[in-house]
Amino acid sequence: MPAFTAAKVALSPLLLWQGRQVRREAPRLPEASGPRLGLTGQDRHSGAMPRLRLLIVGDSSGAGVGAATQDEALAGRLSQALARRLKAPIAWQLVARTGWTTADATAALRELSAQGRLPPADVMVTALGVNDAVHQTSPRRWTAQLDALEACACELAGVHQIVATAVPPMHRFPLLPQPLRWVLGRSAQALDAALVQWTADAGTRAYFEMPFDAARDDVRELMASDGFHPSPALYHRWGEALALQIAADYRPLMRPV
């Protein structure tokens, strides 16, 4: 890490210039359109209660940038896959915005709760870390912010379990030029290692590794046109694999229907 820090200092003028260029020239894709609160898998004539309640918290990937609608993004794909696997309705809420850090997400949960717009949830799924890496948040500080997010979700929404999605491999993002890609990639890898340890520290947390094979998958085919966000194909794969893990691990939380 001392060598990495020294390299960042030496490269700082170039990194700052590259960062400005990326922000100026990168395509600005919108967040996915559509509702951010719903009940998936409900038979409109049965009135069945949800069997599992999801709170999805994230940054631009959580918000569905790279997909046209929420049905094609993480929230839609995950809730659809869970409803299909459990054969029961899934209640879900999405709290995500482009540019959010983990601290921003925590503040948003508190604001929604104060407004009476944060319904109870059993499981919180997170898609965070990219902007924390961009801001060069240290792993120690980031895990403290994750602690704060967890405490907030448990206190205000009654969350019992957390599934934390891995920090994306920024060293493979086509949009980023070198050496900016290398620096952000190293930072993202450090945060991801901290996330692995953080989820291992408590039985109420689980780590979710993104479902692609670095050796075989072409990252460009799984990313949106901006070279930075997931494509609908990756959102579909992400939602299906995440649903499989949640359905297997969290059956004790599911209420009878």
Are β-strands 123-127 and 205-208 bridged in parallel, bridged antiparallel, or unpaired? unpaired
Q: Return left, alpha or beta for 227; rule: phi > 0 is left, psi -120 to 50 is alpha, else beta.
A: left
Q: What is the pLDDT of residue 1?
A: 65
Residue 10's alpha-carbon distances to 170, 180, 256, in angstroms, are 21, 12, 59
Q: What is the pLDDT of residue 111?
A: 98
Alpha carbons 35 and 76: distance in angstroms, whole number: 10
Q: Which of 4-8, 47-51, 66-70, 252-256 has the weakest average pLDDT?
A: 252-256
Contact 107, 152 (CB under 8 A): no
- pLDDT at 42 exceeding the cut of 60: yes
Contacts 24+ apart (CB under 8 A), 177-182: 177/18, 177/21, 177/22, 179/11, 179/14, 179/15, 179/18, 180/14, 180/15, 180/18, 180/19, 180/22
Q: What is the pLDDT of residue 12?
A: 75
- pLDDT at 218 exceeding the cut of 60: yes
CA angle 122, 79, 247 (to 5 degrees): 60
- pLDDT at 95 exceeding the cut of 70: yes
* Reported confidence tier of residue 214, pLDDT bands at 50, 70, 90: low
63-83 confidence digits (pLDDT tens)? 999 999 999 999 999 999 999
CA 98 to chain centroid: 11
- pLDDT at 17 exceeding the cut of 70: yes
Strand partners, 126: 57, 164
